[in-house]
Amino acid sequence: MPTRLPIAVLVSGSGSNLQAILDASASDAFAAEVCVVISDRPAVRALERAVEAGVPAEVVAWAEHGDRDLFTAAVCRVAERHGAAALVLAGFMRILGTEAIGRFPTGILNIHPSLLPAFPGTMHAVRDALAHGVKITGVTVHYVTAEVDGGPIIAQEAVPVLPDDDEASLHARVQQVEHRLYPDVVDALARGALMIDGRRVTWKEHS
Ligand code: GRF
């Protein structure tokens, strides 16, 4: 099997996107492997998923650092200690300091449950889309830069808002798309298939 790109997946909660990546990595064709799962919170479901998959899981508690730069440095240290070449944020509810960008030049990815630049911010993108009355929302996977939810967009997919939707039903439909899209983007990053030109990201064809 060719060498896979080691990635650290950063989580804060349920970890369903982590699970999708772990499931994808069971295939030899997947170009990345999860070398560590890092959570800013103890006792979350995502940590159990890592353990179930036999992947190292570590907590870097925000409360123990209390400062974005110190917290970021601690997260980077753990990821580097496990050999990670890239960071994949999957429901990670903290904003990393810019130091992380320099330390992981291969890339830091984030997934966001809206069609950015609409409804940015870590907390309530699905609720905000519903409250705004949009008929279409969706999923964005983007590079992390110093601008929160503002990095170059790698992939987007639309999700319709249905008349009877509440936040839970809409988020469930959004997540179905996330679980398909995020492993695809991680695989593309790991294959070196993502080309960045300014803000525009293009995908090289599968070889
Ligand atoms: C996802 O909807 C993601 O877009 C957002 O947080 C949610 C995390 O879900 N950033 P999970 O922890 O992967 O289940």
Q: How do the pLDDT tens digits run along the chain, 207 residues long?
A: 679 999 999 999 999 999 999 999 999 999 999 999 999 999 999 999 999 999 999 999 998 998 999 999 999 999 999 999 999 999 999 999 999 999 999 999 999 999 999 999 878 999 999 999 999 999 999 999 999 999 999 999 999 999 999 999 999 999 999 999 999 999 999 999 999 999 999 999 765
In degrees and rounded to multiples of 5, residue 199 shows phi and psi of: -90, -5
For ligand 1, atom 6: residue with the closest CA: 91
Instruction: Tell me the CA–centroid distance for residue 204 and ligand 1, in Å.
Output: 27
Based on the residue annotation, tell me whether 112 is a catalytic residue of this protein.
yes
Amino acid at site 184: D
Identify which of 172, 144, 131, 175 has the alpha carbon closest to the alpha carbon of residue 157: 175
The answer to whether 165 and 7 are in contact (CB under 8 A) is no
pLDDT of the residue at 205: 74
Instruction: Tell me the CA–centroid distance for residue 17 and ligand 1, in Å.
Output: 6
For ligand 1, atom 1: residue with the closest CA: 91
Which residues line ligand 1 at a C-beta cut-off of 6 Å? 13-17, 90-91, 111-113, 175, 178
Instruction: Report the alpha-carbon distance of residue 26 to residue 86 in Å, rounded.
Output: 19
For ligand 1, atom 2: residue with the closest CA: 113
Instruction: Report the alpha-carbon distance of residue 89 to residue 163 in Å, rounded.
Output: 31
**Probe target for ligand 1 pocket from 41, 175, 176, 185, with the most ligand atoms within 8 Å of CB:** 175
The number of the ligand 1 atom at minimal distance from the alpha carbon of 14 is 12
pLDDT of the residue at 123: 82
- Give the helix/strand (H/E) hosting 8: strand 5-11
The single residue of 82, 112, 171, 179 carrying the catalytic annotation is 112
- Range list of β-strands (E), 98-192: 108-112, 136-143, 153-160
The number of the ligand 1 atom at minimal distance from the alpha carbon of 11 is 12
Q: How many CB atoms lie within 10 A of CB 163?
A: 5
Instruction: Report the alpha-carbon distance of residue 108 to residue 85 in Å, rounded.
Output: 9
User: pTM of the entire structure?
Assistant: 0.97
The number of the ligand 1 atom at minimal distance from the alpha carbon of 122 is 10
Instruction: Tell me the CA–centroid distance for residue 19 and ligand 1, in Å.
Output: 11
pLDDT of the residue at 1: 60
pLDDT of the residue at 66: 82
HSE-up (13 A, CA, CB side) for residue 44: 24
Instruction: Tell me the CA–centroid distance for residue 15 and ligand 1, in Å.
Output: 7
